[in-house]
């Protein structure tokens, strides 16, 4: 099993992973720039501020491309969202140049976003989107919280 640590500051921050044969964390995000990451349709939605990976702006997805794809892993995320933020942690996906991700799974990061137009977003932080949903906020915006995800 591999372990990953993810911090989402104003949505996404630092990542690290552990190899199944190792007992120490391997850093995936260097805290300085987006080396090893690829943003799709709106790269300006992602930046590094004060050592944190920040996501804000138009829809976009940030893919880790520096290592081999992870199959079995554990992820711990330190997350802080702003009011009406709608984000997520995707895994077992494919890099798309634009549009919504159709392959893979999303662990929802949404404490207060309610949707736009006729679309009502009822799935809150911690939902395995459309598979096992959480309908009430388990965290507050503007406060750090920890999310733990185990993928086998």
d(CA 33, CA 14) in angstroms, rounded, equals: 11
In tens, the pLDDT along 5-32 reads: 444 433 333 344 444 555 566 667 888 9
In tens, the pLDDT along 47-57 reads: 999 999 899 88
Query: What is the rounded average pLDDT of the residues 78-85?
Result: 92
Which of the listed CATH numbers 2.60.40.10, 1.10.150.170, 2.40.50.180, 2.60.120.560 matches domain 2-151? 2.60.120.560
d(CA 23, CA 18) in angstroms, rounded, equals: 7
User: What is the domain partition of the chain in residue ranges?
Assistant: 2-151
SS3 13: coil
In tens, the pLDDT along 53-73 reads: 899 889 899 988 887 788 888
State the Cα torsion 123-53-38-77 to the nearest 10°.
-50
| pLDDT: which is higher, 80 or 25 | 80
């Amino acid at each position: 099993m591999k372990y990953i640590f993810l911090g989402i500051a104003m949505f996404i921050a630092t990542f690290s992973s552990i190899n199944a044969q190792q007992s120490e964390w391997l850093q995936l995000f260097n805290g300085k720039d987006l080396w090893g990451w690829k943003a799709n349709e709106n790269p300006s939605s992602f930046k590094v501020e004060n050592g944190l990976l920040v996501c804000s702006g138009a829809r976009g997805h940030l893919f880790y491309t520096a290592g081999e794809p992870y199959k079995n892993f554990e992820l711990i995320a330190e997350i802080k969202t702003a009011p009406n933020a709608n984000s997520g942690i995707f895994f077992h996906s494919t890099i798309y140049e634009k549009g919504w991700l159709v392959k893979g799974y999303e662990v929802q990061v949404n404490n207060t976003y309610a949707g736009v137009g006729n679309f009502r977003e009822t799935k809150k932080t911690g939902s395995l989107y459309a598979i096992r949903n959480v309908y009430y906020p388990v965290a507050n915006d503007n406060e750090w919280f920890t999310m733990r995800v185990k993928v086998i």
